[in-house]
Amino acid sequence: MLNQDQCWEALERRDRNADGKFYVGVLSTGIYCRPSCPSRRALPKNIRFYATPKEAERDGLRACLRCRPLELARDPAAEKIQELCRYVEAHPDDPHDLADLAARAGLSRFHLQRSFKAAVGLTPKQYVEACRMRKLKQSLRASKDVAEAVYDAGFGSSSRVYERADTRLGMTPNQYRQGGRGVAISYATAESPVGLMMIGATDRGLCFVQFGDDEQELLAALRREYPAAGIAAMTTPHPAEFRNWIAALTNHLAGNQPKLELPLDIQATAFQMRVWNYLQSIPYGEVQSYGEVAAGIGKPSAIRAVARACATNTVALAIPCHRVIRGTGELGGYRWGLARKRALIDLERAKRAAAG
């Protein structure tokens, strides 16, 4: 048990000797610190003390980036691992095999593997890939040439990267094997510039974003998509997360939030995931042909399969299948009608042109 008075006193003095003995959570910022953290003091009513980082994280708090309280709780290799992380971040193109990394940190391969996972939560290999993914995403934003971006990010071939990229979508394929059995889905509707929009979500993310003319039609579509799931109207007022997702989609439709990064919880084959991940890299206001998408995922002959993957997308906007058209410049198909596809493309182009 923590002695609250001693904690307050140590916090007051920013006592370094108290570091590691307890942790200071600040509810208003969602951060927890060492007692000696040099950051500005929070109001006492927002402060909670915790005996371990785990308890603070159980309350939804994240480790402070300034005082890095987690490093106290780690094994003595932690500092070397921190350095190693910085090194990998600075050199995402290098191959970084385990032996090289271990030699750099002065640890055995076994020790590195174990300590790294304990400290960072990922294996060294996963961390290297995460750094490459981040670089890839940055260069995709800056450049239109996907093959080049993939090469720049240190992946050998574009097919590999899309397999890795799958982890971006928070999918849980097992739960969906039987039409969503055991999954609870809540839904709500919102008006949009292209008609009524229904949004369905599990507690992991959005699983359904579709357009229609009325709620009954949309609800029927939701039930068809997840016939075995428990489906219920969202309670009001909507939970904060759900409100944020609706606000993000609405802002996106209004052209005020070109980049949508929402947690998704969808069912997909590996091929669909590859296509959908790729679609998320097409910038707001731009279009590509089915053929370009097929080439982009390293399957240039799979044009029809790409079109099918677009047509089976269950989360409009979040996976922007409306940005894919025929090579001839014709619109191709759209699950929610060509008029809506045309309207979305025009809307994005106009907003983009206006933004200069």
Burial class (CB in 10 A: 0-12, 13-18, 19+), 290: buried
- Single out the segment in contact with Zn ion by CB under 5 A; choices: 25-33, 74-82, 155-163, 284-292: 25-33
Orientation angle between helical segments 124-142 and 98-105, nearest 10 degrees: 110
Q: Which of 7, 33, 37, 207 is catalytic?
A: 33
CB 157 within 8 A of CB 298: yes
Q: Which of 64, 67, 207, 321 is catalytic?
A: 321
- Residue 64 found at the interface with Zn ion (CB under 5 A): yes
Nearer to Zn ion, 70 or 315 (CB): 70
Show contacts with Zn ion in window 148-187 (CB under 5 A). Answer: none
The set of residues, in sequence order, having a beta carbon less than 8 Å from that of 274 and lying 6+ positions away, is 162, 163, 165, 166, 297
Nearer to Zn ion, 54 or 66 (CB): 66
| Amino acid letter for position 234 | M
Q: At its nearest, how many Å lie between Zn ion and the CB of residue 33?
A: 3
Nearer to Zn ion, 39 or 172 (CB): 39
Orientation angle between helical segments 158-165 and 270-279, nearest 10 degrees: 90
- Single out the segment in contact with Zn ion by CB under 5 A; choices: 34-42, 127-135, 231-239, 269-277: 34-42
Nearer to Zn ion, 27 or 331 (CB): 27
- Residue 33 found at the interface with Zn ion (CB under 5 A): yes
- Residue 66 found at the interface with Zn ion (CB under 5 A): yes
Residue 61: which H helix or E strand, with range?
A: none
- Cα–Cα dist 267/17, whole Å: 51
- Cα–Cα dist 234/201, whole Å: 9
Is it true that the peptide bond before 76 is cis, omega within 30 degrees of 0?
Answer: no
- Cα–Cα dist 157/150, whole Å: 7
Place of tokens 């309280």: 69
- Single out the segment in contact with Zn ion by CB under 5 A; choices: 33-41, 94-102, 128-136, 143-151: 33-41
- Single out the segment in contact with Zn ion by CB under 5 A; choices: 66-74, 175-183, 207-215, 237-245: 66-74
Nearer to Zn ion, 42 or 347 (CB): 42
Give how far Cα 310 sits from Cα of 51, 106, 152, 274, 278, Å: 50, 49, 27, 11, 11
| Amino acid letter for position 193 | P
- Residue 315 found at the interface with Zn ion (CB under 5 A): no
- Cα–Cα dist 307/313, whole Å: 10
- Residue 67 found at the interface with Zn ion (CB under 5 A): yes
Q: At its nearest, how many Å lie between Zn ion and the CB of residue 47?
A: 12
Q: At its nearest, how many Å lie between Zn ion and the CB of residue 63?
A: 8
- Residue 37 found at the interface with Zn ion (CB under 5 A): yes
Q: At its nearest, how many Å lie between Zn ion and the CB of residue 64?
A: 3
**Residues forming beta bridges with residue 48, ordered by sequence position:** 25
11 CA to centre of own chain: 35
Nearer to Zn ion, 67 or 169 (CB): 67
Q: At its nearest, how many Å lie between Zn ion and the CB of residue 32?
A: 8
Of the candidates 339, 340, 337, 282, which has an alpha carbon nearest to the alpha carbon of residue 306?
282
Catalytic residue check, 33: yes
- Single out the segment in contact with Zn ion by CB under 5 A; choices: 29-37, 223-231, 253-261, 271-279: 29-37
**Number of residues binding to Zn ion, judged by CB under 5 A:** 6
Show contacts with Zn ion in window 266-285 (CB under 5 A). Answer: none
Place of tokens 């053929």: 291
Nearer to Zn ion, 37 or 84 (CB): 37
Catalytic residue check, 321: yes
- Residue 318 found at the interface with Zn ion (CB under 5 A): no
Catalytic residues: 33, 321
Residue ranges that bind Zn ion, judged by CB under 5 A = 33, 37, 39, 64, 66-67
